[in-house]
Chains A and B, each alone.
Chain A
Amino acid sequence: MVKLKAFTLFDSLIAVTITAIIMSTMSLSYGYLIDADKPMSSMVGQAELPKLLFNLKESKSYFNESIEKETYKIEQIVEQYKGNAKLFLVTFNIIVNSKITYTEQHLIENEER
């Protein structure tokens, strides 16, 4: 029979403490890493933005819009740029789980003028 011989109680206590620290650090790190990485759905949404911008320019329908997808939402905000009627500031927000994960801004010409 294999016997594992224990050292002192003090040694064991330190070992248990270290193990506890390891466990908590690992779970903290895991949480941090999961939180830090951008969700894949946000990247999918990002890839949609050039097409949306192109469509916006082509259709000349300069309105706020919200596009709901299965795993993300794209919010399109169109506003006049610093009071200049020739320009629009377009802001795209990608929202995943009620959190804005990506924002992109563009200036476009007001083709209706």
Chain B
Amino acid sequence: MSKIDYRVKSSAMFYALFLLSIVSIVIASLFQLSSLNQQLEFKLELESILVNNSKSGLVYAKAYFQELPSNQETTIRLFDNRIDSVVISKRNWGAYQIIESKAVHNEKSFTKVILVGSQNKTQLPNLYLADQGRPLSLCGKTRLEGSCLLPKSGIKRAYISGENYQGTDLIYGSKKESKKQLPQINDELILNLNLEANLKQEWNNKIETLIVPFDSIGVHLYSNKPIYINSQTLKGQISIESTDSIIVSSNSVLEDVILKSPKIIIEENFRGSFQCLASQNIRIEKNVILEYPSVLGLVESKSGIKASSIDISTNVQLIGSVFLVSESPDFRKPVSLNIQENSILNGLVYCEGQTQLKGEVNGSLYTKSFYLKTASSAYQNHLLNAKISNNLTDEFISIPLLEQSNTIKTIKWLN
């Protein structure tokens, strides 16, 4: 019987080399893993840094808003250390402005865009009626709240269409004297209402949905014919211009867009938020809701046969700003704002001409004069069943219309 040989050939060198290779593989794997982990951690940290930096860039841009050049990129280093480069820019978006902040590091970037408006440091009056030598006459259920700046000739009770003034006080607030002219408006705002910076395209009725983000190039849709926006969804950085007229139907969805045309009609029951810039007439039909931050702006370039106007029908709600100005005012045909019963405008309303107020303004109303048309007659500086209320928050952000010190504030995040 042969003996089994249990002896195993050994080599310390062989074992050591074998162990060395195994351990090397393990160590290399560990290093690889650690390196991957660090890369991932850095990637996540970088994303977080870029997000924070872009937000800080926006804060910086708001603080140095006046110094920032328009439509031009400015690169800044926020903290003078580590990853802190931000490219900021500001541009006009209708009556508001847009600030874009892009945090960059090598190939990576993160962009934040905001819509900004103006917040007045001092509280605006609730009513500013320019002193045209006529007193203000109140009839029916008219109620004036807050601070009112009125002509030197004052305010009185009147009787129209069988309705006496029913209030106990004439003003539920304070009263001061107004000047002959309305406070000067910010001319730059009017000059900056052009829409030329965007990518031009011919208007196409077949567009069903068009959404253009604010961190890309805007789209400017134009036509020489009337534009009828019907059952279409248009959101974002889109401006629509017609040299004739624009009509918006109630089944359209508009958000943040700008409409520019001599005549604009918003059909009844529409709901949305946009800026309307016209030169002749804006007509808002009944039951329309214009959400914040909507703007109705009328800039009359030359006085036509008919006076330029904004006509707001019954049961309309608007939160935002309304302004009517004329580049060549004609005292015989002043621009006119007509607000019908049960309509409420929340925000800043500035009318360089005459206002017929049958509804309510919650906020500030600046007007040169009031007018009132009844079935039988027409009256100057009369208010019948009108209301000016003072329930708007002090922090309301409007368009930078008035030339006075104000702060730039964020209205909404656009991306």
Contact = CB atoms under 8 A, between A and B. Distances in A.
A11 interface: yes
A105 B30 contact: no
B52 interface: yes
Given A29-B27, A84-B63, A109-B59, A4 B78 contact: no
Interface string B380-415: 000000000000000000000000000000000000
A109 B56 CA distance: 9
B-side interface size class? 35 or more
B37 interface: yes
Interface string A6-31: 11000110111011011001100100
Q: Majority SS of interface residues in chain A?
A: mixed
A106 interface: yes
Interface in A43-83: none
Nearest to B84: A105
B289 to A, nearest CB: 31
B27 A25 contact: yes
Contacts of B31: 29, 33
A30 B8 CA distance: 35
A89 B8 contact: no
A105 B9 CA distance: 65
Contact of A5 (B9, B37, B38): B9
B7 A12 contact: no
A6 B170 CA distance: 116
A92 to B, nearest CB: 10
Contacts of A32: 34
B227 to A, nearest CB: 40
A14 B16 contact: yes
Nearest to A109: B59
A107 B48 CA distance: 15
A100 to B, nearest CB: 13
A45 to B, nearest CB: 13
A107 B12 CA distance: 64
Contacts of A22: 19-20, 23
11 contacts: A2-B7, A2-B8, A4-B10, A25-B23, A25-B27, A29-B30, A36-B34, A104-B49, A104-B52, A107-B60, A107-B78
Task: Give the 8 A-B residue pairs with the shortest CB-CB distance, closest first.
Answer: A15-B16, A107-B56, A15-B12, A4-B10, A18-B16, A107-B59, A11-B13, A86-B63
Given A6-B10, A87-B60, 14 more contacts: A2-B8, A3-B7, A4-B10, A12-B13, A18-B16, A22-B19, A25-B27, A29-B27, A32-B34, A33-B30, A37-B37, A84-B64, A104-B49, A104-B52
